[in-house]
């Protein structure tokens, strides 16, 4: 028996369902990862099965999302096959007023960023708890290569001293007792920063470290946010200049 939906589930469901209104027949759609993105995939599947969205194909950002999409009857392709996408819909861990995001709580940030930036439009879907005035309370995930990870961690902690952040601790993400590995075979460091004053500068500095593959800072990528509420209502927030 499935458990009853919590208020947060209902809000995520509302956001996911509303985002399907932006999908048109024939679109190539990036499918995000996480519990909110899963509501979108289920709602998309419903419409596809009802015959309302012919020729839509999805590009999943993780193995987990791909399995769900297949089970929901959404036709899948690869990013290479699609070449470019019309739209990507994904969740986030934090959303600031400029629609800058922290992503990667689910460990799929690299593939999520590749897919989102290869799309004409990215829509972020969330419940209101993800909206923040400044990014950083949620630990910032960065994807790193396993080779020399302890050295990479030390370099990252040292470079954080150049930034105005409330905390500077980096922790290796674990899956039970072993390092968590992404679909791409990378590790994740979670940076406990508290508050990030200059996200763009921090992202650039982190990316300059050779062992760092990508950061969970998504800046100027999301064009629009759909915020769902537990009563089923949704609100749309657009990025200035998007």
Binding residues for ligand 5RP restricted to 66-125, rule: CB under 6 A: 90-93, 103-109, 112
Compute the distance between CA of residue 15 and CA of residue 12 in angstroms, rounded to an integer.
5
Write down the catalytic residue from 38, 112, 143, 214: 112
Q: How far is CA 91 from the centre of its chain?
A: 5
Q: Is 12 helix (H, G, I), strand (E, B) or coil?
A: helix
Got the DSSP string for 77-104?
--HHHH-SBSEEEE--SEE-TT--EE--
The residue (of 86 and 127) whose beta carbon lies closer to ligand 5RP is 127
The residue (of 37 and 187) whose beta carbon lies closer to ligand 5RP is 37
The residue (of 40 and 155) whose beta carbon lies closer to ligand 5RP is 40
Stretch that binds ligand 5RP, among 34-42, 65-73, 193-201, 205-213 (CB under 6 A): 34-42
Among 20, 29, 36, 123, binds ligand 5RP (CB under 6 A): 36
Asked whether position 33 contacts ligand 5RP by CB under 6 A, the answer is yes
Compute the distance between CA of residue 194 and CA of residue 196 in angstroms, rounded to an integer.
7
Within 10 Å of residue 80's Cβ, how many Cβ atoms?
A: 7
Tell me if residue 230 is catalytic. no
Question: For binding to ligand 5RP (CB under 6 A), which residues are involved?
Answer: 32-37, 90-93, 103-109, 112
């Amino acid at each position: 028996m499935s458990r009853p939906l919590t208020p947060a589930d209902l809000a995520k469901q509302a956001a996911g369902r509303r985002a399907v209104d932006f999908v048109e027949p024939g679109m190539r759609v990036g499918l995000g990862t996480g519990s909110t993105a899963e509501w979108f995939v289920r709602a998309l599947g419903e419409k596809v099965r009802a015959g309302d969205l012919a020729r839509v194909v999805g590009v999943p950002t993780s193995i987990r999302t791909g399995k769900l999409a297949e089970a929901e009857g959404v036709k899948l392709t690869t990013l290479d096959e699609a070449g470019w996408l019309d739209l990507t819909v994904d969740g986030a861990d934090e959303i600031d007023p400029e629609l800058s995001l922290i992503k990667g709580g689910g460990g799929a940030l690299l593939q999520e960023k590749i897919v989102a930036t290869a799309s004409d439009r990215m829509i972020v879907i969330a419940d209101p708890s993800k909206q923040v005035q400044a990014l950083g309370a949620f630990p910032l995930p960065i994807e790193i290569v396993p080779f020399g990870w302890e050295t990479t961690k030390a370099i990252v902690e040292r470079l954080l001293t150049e930034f105005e952040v409330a905390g500077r601790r980096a922790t290796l993400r674990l899956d039970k007792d072993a390092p968590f590995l992404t679909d791409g075979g990378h590790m994740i460091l979670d940076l406990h920063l508290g508050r990030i004053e200059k996200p763009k500068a921090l992202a650039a500095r982190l990316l300059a470290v050779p062992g760092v593959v990508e950061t969970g800072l998504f800046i100027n990528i999301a064009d629009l946010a759909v915020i769902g509420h537990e009563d089923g209502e949704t609100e749309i927030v657009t990025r200035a200049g998007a």
